[in-house]
A and B are shown apart, each in its own frame.
Chain A
Amino acid sequence: MINVTIDGIKTSVPEGSTILKAAESIGVKIPTLCNHPDQAVKGNCRVCVCEVEGSRLLSAACVMPVWEGMVVKTRTPKVVEARKTILELILSNHPQDCLNCIRNQNCELQTLAEEYFIRDNPFSQKTRGMAKDYSTPAIFRDPDKCILCRRCVEACSVIQSVNALGLDQRGHHAMVVPTMGWDLIDSPCVMCGQCIHACPVGAIGEVEEIDKLLAAIADPDTVVVTQIAPAVRVAIGEEVGLATGDMPMDVFAAGLRQIGFDYVLHTNFTADLTILEEGNELLKRLKEGGTLPMFTSCSPGWINFCETFYPDLLDNLSTCKSPQQMFGALAKTYWAEKSNIDPAKIYSVSIMPCTAKKYECSRPEMNDSGFRDVDLVLTTREIGRLFRMSGIDFNKLAGSHFDSWMGAYTGAAVIFGASGGVMEAALRTVYEVVTGQTLENVNFEVTRGIQGIKEAEVDLNGTVVKVAIANGLSNARQLMDEVRAGTSPYHFIEIMACPGGCIGGGGQPITKSNAKRVERINQIYVEDEACEIRKSHENPEVKAIYEEFLHEPLGHQSHHLLHTHYTAKNKKTL
């Protein structure tokens, strides 16, 4: 242990600790911008500078390791003046556009400008005048706002191994750009949106489509139907001043009715349905010698990744559509018929923790209902904006039920929101289908948690099925390289593109650390435990749809409406 004194407070910290870590441990807050708790140290913004006794120059707290007897001062006039100058220099080429910015009131630079009471910036304002990039349907870039912290580059390269972002030029001319300086759509970008969480400012965000929803609600001839993805509920509270997990599902539904949705249904219903289809697909592949290991197909960022980087493994992907797209295809067929509504009048909106879903719903093959299956995807953040705009007091709002036919769900669907959840839900059902016995303890703890790669073995009537689960695409890449090399020992692999699974999705409330992801995961299992029914095949509405409409898993109707195919992306360069 190393003894240091910070602002007069004596403490001892492990060898190798930085000044920043040492200060954090005793509750001394040092401002940061390029620093990210889950990423490597960058040391490029310098806003964390401190005085170290005996040193002539100020030291960047995020990089400087402590030494025995070090005396640090974090808030002297010299330090404050330096930090203000650094902020003024950053602000001098950052557009003063806060009122129009997607990160207004949720921006690390804006917060620091307020904390350091930046008023009359002595440096003249000069922005680079770079064009915004709206080339993808999911994510926009506004490179003029970039402060060159490079957190998005690390999220894209180290965490996701996609490498769509890099640097162009150097020094004063340096910019973060997609591959070769192209538009984002031409880069290998998979639209997972992890760069959005990494960005401290508003240089990257989701393509907002709130106005399209408001126009549909305003049209009296349009029936606006919505579905809520499993991971949204645990996080939506964060957008409206509640704690993580603190929004009851029925109150959430009531809030959506307040906004003007005509029917509130649930993606959880099609999550349960996915388990029936995907579970049976796995059993069929095992029995008939189909392509193994089978990969889950719920995460559109992962599908983009597989189509981009592993086009030779597309046969391993489950042919099941994602729950969002299953819902879309059924809403304008089965549900429209059941509810006696003209499908041409239905405007199908899905509320997703995900940016890649915006792309997924626009895929040309996603129109099996005879219409575009899902008309609009809004992220958790966009719904948060709508709730705030509507001024709903969720502490006083009475709960509301979900509408019939596609609104019921089980705990198995709830856990789709966390990494390992699809696997656990599948095992709960597959076990009972294969063994014919009741699964008494439905909790497969080994599949849970934020760990990058998890593996498990399940004995199904003497057949040992080996499964693996990865979250975050660099972890997925490890498993895919094994499959490609022919050394993968698994039968079934669950992949979620985002760290922690959908609860950490690119459309969730801005997530500043993995600690928040863990909090959301824990809330997912609290919700699962509270569900009366926790196995997908016991969902009464799922039973009803098979009896009345689909007839059997993998049957003719399922094949037509619930299954899909994949296409190699053939990107110019990776």
Chain B
Amino acid sequence: MSYKEIIAKYAEVPGGIIEAFHAVEKELSFLPEEAIAEAARVFKVPAAEAFGVASFYSMFSTKARGKNVIRLCESAPCHVAGAAEVVAAIEKELGIRMGESTNDGLFALEFTECVGQCQATPVITINSKPYLDVTPAIIPNILAEYK
């Protein structure tokens, strides 16, 4: 589905611009400028304001990124439990640094705030699905699910 069709589905929803952005991201993994401009037209707000909404929320990205978004918690409990080693393992496995995307467009790697699973740290999420008690050793297996 094109971003235009996706956004049109939410046109009648009050404040639907945020839901429309989520739906576009699900399809494209980020919010291209054209989609933000289209949402501005559909929801009758200035493009500068639609862009403000898109850039305000950390779950939205206004820059192109890989299809599967890996988010790693950078809050204190995960940090203490060895998040740094997990980051290193993901970076090594994918050949990218934190904040980058893989050349094949399959993965993006980002930090996130606490996702509320502190009973089983460190935690990563991929496309919002949580993985608990993550160790560097199991990283290749987790990523294999998405390749």
Contact = CB atoms under 8 A, between A and B. Distances in A.
B56 A167 contact: yes
A419 interface: no
Contacts of B47: 163, 179-180, 573-574
B48 interface: yes
| Interface band, chain B | 10 to 19
A69 to B, nearest CB: 40
Given A163-B46, A572-B37, A573-B37, A179 B56 contact: no
Secondary structure of the B side of the interface?
Answer: helix
A573 B55 contact: no
Nearest to B40: A573
A164 interface: yes
A169 B55 contact: yes
Nearest to B38: A573
A187 B51 CA distance: 12
A404 to B, nearest CB: 49
Given A168-B55, A169-B56, A573-B40, A180 B33 contact: yes
Nearest to A574: B47
Interface in B46-105: 46-49, 51-52, 55-56, 62
Given A180-B47, A573-B47, A166 B37 contact: no
A157 interface: yes
| Interface band, chain A | 10 to 19
Nearest to A572: B37
Contacts of B55: 167-170, 181
A149 to B, nearest CB: 16
A449 interface: no
Contact of B48 (A169, A170, A187, A572): A187
Interface string A377-414: 00000000000000000000000000000000000000
A33 interface: no
Given A157-B46, A163-B46, A170 B51 contact: no
Contact of A181 (B37, B40, B51): B51
Interface string A164-184: 111111100000011111000
A164 B48 CA distance: 6
B13 to A, nearest CB: 22
Given A163-B46, A166-B51, A179-B48, 13 more contacts: A167-B56, A168-B51, A169-B55, A169-B56, A177-B51, A180-B37, A180-B47, A180-B48, A180-B62, A181-B55, A573-B33, A573-B37, A574-B46
29 contacts: A157-B48, A163-B47, A163-B49, A164-B48, A166-B46, A166-B48, A166-B49, A166-B51, A166-B52, A167-B52, A168-B51, A169-B55, A170-B55, A170-B56, A177-B48, A178-B48, A179-B47, A180-B33, A180-B36, A180-B37, A180-B47, A180-B48, A180-B51, A180-B62, A181-B55, A573-B33, A573-B37, A574-B40, A574-B47
A-B complex: 6 closest residue pairs judged by Cβ atoms:
A166-B48, A163-B46, A573-B37, A573-B47, A179-B48, A167-B52
